[in-house]
Chain A
Amino acid sequence: MTKKTFSTAINDALHEAMRIDQSVICYGLGVTDPKAVFNTTSNLEKKFGSERVFDMPTSENAMTGVAIGAALNGIKSVITHQRIDFFLLAMDQIVNGAAKWHYMYGGQSSIPITIRLIIGRGWGQGPTHSQNLQAWFAHIPGLKVVMPTSPEDAKGMLLSSIFDPNPVIFLEHRWLHDTLGDVPSGDIRVPLGKAKIVKAGTDITLVTMSYMTVEAVHAANYLEEKGIVCEVIDLRTIKPLDWKTIMDSVAKTGRLLALDSGFTTGSVSGEVVARVAMEKFSILKSAPTRLAMPDVPEPTSLALTKGFYVRASNIAEKVMDMFGKNTSDIKKDLPEPSPHDVPGEWFKGPF
């Protein structure tokens, strides 16, 4: 199988969906511009024409409602926004409209739309270009929330999202766009609502999502050297959440650390901790816990984001602490990369 980047995998999925189904359309600011939303929408207009693939006015709310209306008559829209933050202008249409439509009209019509939103961290993106608001959407009944980590899942889950009969919020972490992985060709579907055990283990369950999975695996590899074998569960879908996989794992390990790329209060990780505490209290060997972003807007300055993000070192520290082990070497063993505000050398700036 050929290795492909996460963004190529997204592009593959869009091509595939548009090829097999005439009713799929794709629009958003910049989808037809030369940068093609980090190359995720490349060649779509060329292949499928400007009726089905188009740029749009800077009108996030209206264009979400437009997708709802079109959906009522059988059009499956995939809308893209370069930052989740821009989509906040569309909360009315997505929350008051799309999310509840099927329910509030007695199940008669449904809204099969997919909203691709890019989340991130770092490189001076600052308070309004870096938010990870998955919990907001997960809070709303009727929305599905998807956060893939691997390129294969990105493709397979985007296809599943597009052909899901409900509104799906599809969150892509900017720091994953250039990561490589095997991506099968053709119409591959990865089911929504199913978590993936990316690393099997016996001692503690790490529940994670999206880019945090990368840090979690990094930490788990380190911890293994120290004699703690973590089971790492990549949620992949935030809503509906795959409780069975989590509960089965915790039943085995007796310990839970839930990770999150969003703010701490009201986070998805908080929900995971709550449910595990409620259902597995009697078998837990230590208090379930979580690591998420502080309840602070992300600052812009390079100096202020130092040590600001949850990193492999923080995860390892937390786990060692739960096992009553000495954590003094961790900062030295797992130093924050320098510069700390980019996913890798390739990243040269804001977009």
Chain B
Amino acid sequence: MVHPIDSSSIENSLSLFHQMYRIRMVEEEISRRYPEGKMRCPVHLSTGQESIPAAFALSIKKNDFAVSTHRGHAHYLAKGGDLKAMIAEIYGKATGCSKGKGGSMHLIDLNVNFMGTSAIVGNSIPVGVGLALSAQLKGTDQISCIFLGDGAVEEGVFYESVNFAAVRKLPVLFICENNLYSVYSPLSVRQPKGRSIANMVDAIGVGTGTCNGDDIYSSQKLMQNAVNKVRSGTGPYFLEFSTYRWREHCGHDFDNDLGYRSEKEFLEWKSKDPLINLEESLYKTGVKLGEKVDSIKASINSEIISAFKFAETSKFPDQIEAYQDVYAKEELSK
């Protein structure tokens, strides 16, 4: 059921819509153009999972830290990462956020403290904890947000990181996007049936919260409360959101035909799409609002077109650059 939006939450709803729609459209444009073969690196799209980064975007501060995974486009964008630099990176251009060295799986934007993403499952989790340690040592009120998938909690480094964060009461927010799969492997072959990830983390000694990611307002509330809590200095917090990746694990297409999950399951999740629901609610609330939605869409669409144009027309790095930056050169002060 699509309900009109309460007048007090219109601004917030528009912001959520803006965030989600932008991520969706970026991922879908990548998907549309990927078969051209010009984006020559693996891409892991977040189509279907936008509500969590959207809630995140509206809950954190610019100087908070974030790290993410192979599926990191959405988190980079939600943190405020530069869209043009991300698309250029995927195209392997010199103007890319990692100068073409890293590709889709190695996104960074130091202007907004988006510190990196990793192609190795679990690899960025302790790094996020280390960022939190640095904030604690420096006495700032920054928090460190760590995005991870349901698969990453199977790595030993996850437990080690959560444990250390708990021991030192570090300002870490773990954000687990549980999309039920690791590549084509369902949770059932990887984790015991009925055991919730959040409950397990709770037992390690870290506060937890769970939410259905399709419920955008509840997700946002949970995210904001958790951010506030972590910022207040009471230690780490862990959030688990249920969500669903619409497209194939890696690449641009749909892959329900492979048989590792059913078309029915996909369609069920898709029918609960929080983006479409929010969009319909906004339109239903009134003509004026509908016009605002239209203008948000138009501005995002043109932003995306120009980002791709920027990427396509940017220069490739010189071959010689492949051999540069292996070591840092600037001597450290003191």
Contacts and interface: CB of A to CB of B under 8 A. Distances in A.
Interface of A: 29-30, 32-35, 54-62, 85-86, 88-89, 123-129, 294-297, 299-308, 339, 341, 349-351
Contacts of B118: 128
A349 B92 contact: no
A126 B105 contact: yes
Nearest to B191: A57
Nearest to B101: A299
B263 interface: no
Nearest to A35: B184
B154 interface: yes
Contact of A128 (B119, B154, B182): B119
Given A123-B40, A294-B323, A299-B100, A62 B316 contact: no
Interface size class of B (residues with CB under 8 A): 35 or more
Nearest to B320: A304
B100 A54 contact: no
Contacts of B152: 58
Interface in B101-117: 101-103, 105-106
Interface in B170-211: 182-185, 189-191
Given A128-B119, A303-B316, A350-B250, A59 B155 contact: yes
Closest 9 CB pairs of A and B: A124-B41, A301-B92, A301-B100, A303-B316, A300-B103, A33-B184, A57-B154, A350-B42, A34-B258
B139 interface: no
Most-contacted residue by chain B among A56, A62, A89, A308 (CB, 10 A): A89
B260 interface: yes
A29 B182 CA distance: 9
Contacts of A128: 105, 118-120
Contacts of A295: 326
B236 interface: no
Interface in B68-108: 92-93, 96, 98, 100-103, 105-106
A86 B41 contact: no
B106 A126 contact: yes
B184 A34 contact: yes
B7 interface: no
Contacts of B183: 29-30, 33
A308 B322 contact: yes
Contacts of B102: 126-127, 300
B235 interface: no
A350 B100 contact: no
Given A57-B191, A124-B42, A296 B258 contact: no
Contacts of B317: 301, 303-304
B290 interface: no
A58 B101 contact: no
B121 A86 contact: yes
B40 A57 contact: no
B242 to A, nearest CB: 19
Contact of A61 (B92, B106, B156): B156
Nearest to A341: B40
B322 A305 contact: yes
A59 B41 contact: no
B48 interface: no
B321 interface: yes
B251 A350 contact: yes
A301 B121 contact: no
18 contacts: A33-B183, A33-B258, A35-B258, A55-B185, A124-B92, A125-B42, A126-B102, A126-B103, A127-B106, A128-B119, A295-B326, A296-B322, A300-B106, A301-B317, A303-B92, A304-B100, A307-B319, A351-B250
A151 to B, nearest CB: 26
B151 interface: yes
B253 to A, nearest CB: 10
Contacts of B98: 300
Contacts of A304: 92, 100-101, 317, 319, 321-322
A88 B123 CA distance: 11
Nearest to A86: B120
Interface string B142-158: 00000000011011110
Nearest to B187: A57
B53 interface: no
B108 to A, nearest CB: 13
A296 B323 contact: yes
Given A126-B102, A350-B251, A351-B250, A300 B120 contact: no
A234 to B, nearest CB: 28
Contacts of A33: 183-185, 258, 260
Contacts of A86: 120-121
A85 B118 CA distance: 12
Given A56-B189, A124-B41, 16 more contacts: A34-B259, A55-B189, A58-B151, A62-B156, A85-B119, A123-B40, A126-B106, A295-B326, A299-B321, A300-B92, A301-B92, A301-B96, A302-B92, A304-B92, A339-B40, A341-B40
